[in-house]
Amino acid sequence: MKEIILAKFGELVLKGLNRRSFEAVIERNTMRALEPIGKFSFFNVQSTIYIECEDDGPFADTLIARAKERVRDIFGFVSVSTAAATEKDMDAIAKTAKEYLAPTLSAVKTFKVEAKRSDKRFPLKSPEICREIGGVLLSTFHHLKVDVHNPDVTVYVEIRDRGAYIHCGREQGAGGLPVGTSGKATLLLSGGIDSPVAGYMMARRGVSLSAVYFSTPPYTSERATQKVIDLAKIVSRYAGPFKLFVVPFTHIQEEIAKHCRSELFTIIMRRFMFRCAEKICLSQKGGALITGESLGQVASQTIPAISVTGEVVSIPVFQPLIGMDKEEITRISRKIGAFETSILPYEDCCALFSPKHPKTHPRSDELVKEERHFDIDALVDEALRESRLIRVDYDGETVEVEKRYD
């Protein structure tokens, strides 16, 4: 008996997308995610990817269990199950069902069998398969009763093109679209709770990410940067490996603090962040920025503040958390495993120089006037020239690359 993973992608999701390229992307994402776990083979039939472990040794079960955990987080799959694979022969199916389901069926009182025969050449029809396998299980596990309405366990027998499969139901997959099917965007990733969640949510819509973090040495420490790298790694579990640019922001912040009215500090700083991020995004052939604002959460997240920040760039800014409460955002942060890292107490550059009374209704003309104090392009280019590029990968090491932004 061989245990395999069946990962199913939704038909609906295919609407409007080119089916072949969609499948190629989800297959590539799956192979890449499982590569660090072991050697697997992949077959794609009937909107399902069949994943088999090539290692037949004593660790095959563990490898399949680990692979399933991983596949559950891959965007584009609506459901994931592990199943026992066997030949399309009733004796083999009965024998496999008894063996494979023993631990599950020993622990429950009632069950039913559902059969699905997508290979119509199989001689028995679905109700006959149910009756026969149900009978075998009843005569093997004497404590069991059939309950067709409300069973403790439903046993599924699927007769498909490649073989027969037996399992006890599917778990929900991560949903969304495969990363890489909706273009590229650059996430402004800070060390907080919100931006990792924003990145996760856009990756779930199929966007492939790059990210930028603005650090303010020596006011922010190397530990604060490490925290952002750790968060980026967590996001890459879902979004796949991506590039993180660490942009030194000290000179820009000092210049703003020196030349601008303090109540406008935050908003002018954010306008500089957006300008830098847009350049990075375009260099990565991306088409949008992603940030973690939630309306009204802080002074820089009012409609006028968001509006004057966005106007310095010409690409769209996606703010997937804009209508969410902190509680909802925190729930997702916990679900994706980022929360504990996000709340580590390392200072974030925005906390420095921050005015006591930031302006909540900044006007565009007053900002433009304040910004006349600077050579904006020169400051942006200097920061980008000095940025570091880090390749972030969930399973692998993060690798710092000599080559920086260009």
How many residues interact with ligand ATP (rule CB under 6 A)? 21
For 376, the token pair is: 């904006």
Rounded least distance, CB 318 to ligand ATP, Å: 10
For 175, the token pair is: 């949903």
Q: Does the protein bind ligand ATP through residue 188 (CB under 6 A)?
A: yes
C-alpha distances in Å from residue 244, one per residue of 10, 42, 125, 188, 400: 31, 30, 55, 10, 9
Rounded least distance, CB 174 to ligand ATP, Å: 22
Backbone angles phi, psi at 96, to 5 degrees: -65, -40
How many angstroms from the chain centroid is the CA of residue 201? 7
Q: Which does 293 bind (CB under 5 to 8 A by kind): ligand ATP, Mg ion, none?
A: ligand ATP
Q: Which does 370 bind (CB under 5 to 8 A by kind): ligand ATP, Mg ion, none?
A: none
Q: How far apart are CA 360 and CA 188, in angstroms?
A: 21
Q: How far apart are CA 403 and CA 186, in angstroms?
A: 18
Mind spelling out the 3-state secondary structure of 149-180? CCCCEEEEEEECCCCEEEECCCEECCCCECCC
Q: Does the protein bind ligand ATP through residue 23 (CB under 6 A)?
A: no
Q: Which does 214 bind (CB under 5 to 8 A by kind): ligand ATP, Mg ion, none?
A: ligand ATP
Q: Does the protein bind Mg ion through residue 220 (CB under 5 A)?
A: no
Contacts of 254 (CB under 8 A, 6+ apart): none
Q: Does the protein bind Mg ion through residue 196 (CB under 5 A)?
A: no
Nearer to ligand ATP, 86 or 387 (CB): 387
Q: Does the protein bind Mg ion through residue 292 (CB under 5 A)?
A: no
Binding ligand ATP (rule: CB under 6 A), the pick from 154, 297, 354, 360 is 297
Q: How far apart are CA 15 and CA 22, in angstroms?
A: 10
> Three-state SS for 16?
coil
Nearer to ligand ATP, 31 or 352 (CB): 352
Rounded least distance, CB 91 to ligand ATP, Å: 58
Q: Which residue is nearest to ligand ATP (CB)?
A: 192
Q: Which stretch binds ligand ATP (CB under 6 A): 40-48, 67-75, 92-100, 294-302?
A: 294-302
Nearer to Mg ion, 23 or 293 (CB): 293
Q: Buried (b) or exposed (e) across 321-348, using 16+ Cβ within 10 A? A: bbebeeeebbebbeebebbebbeeeeeb
Q: Which stretch binds ligand ATP (CB under 6 A): 33-41, 251-259, 348-356, 366-374?
A: 348-356
9: β partners: 77
How many residues interact with Mg ion (rule CB under 5 A)? 3
Q: Which stretches of the chain bind ligand ATP, using CB under 6 A?
A: 188-190, 192-195, 212-214, 273, 291-293, 297-298, 300-301, 348-350
Q: Which stretches of the chain bind Mg ion, using CB under 5 A?
A: 190, 192, 348
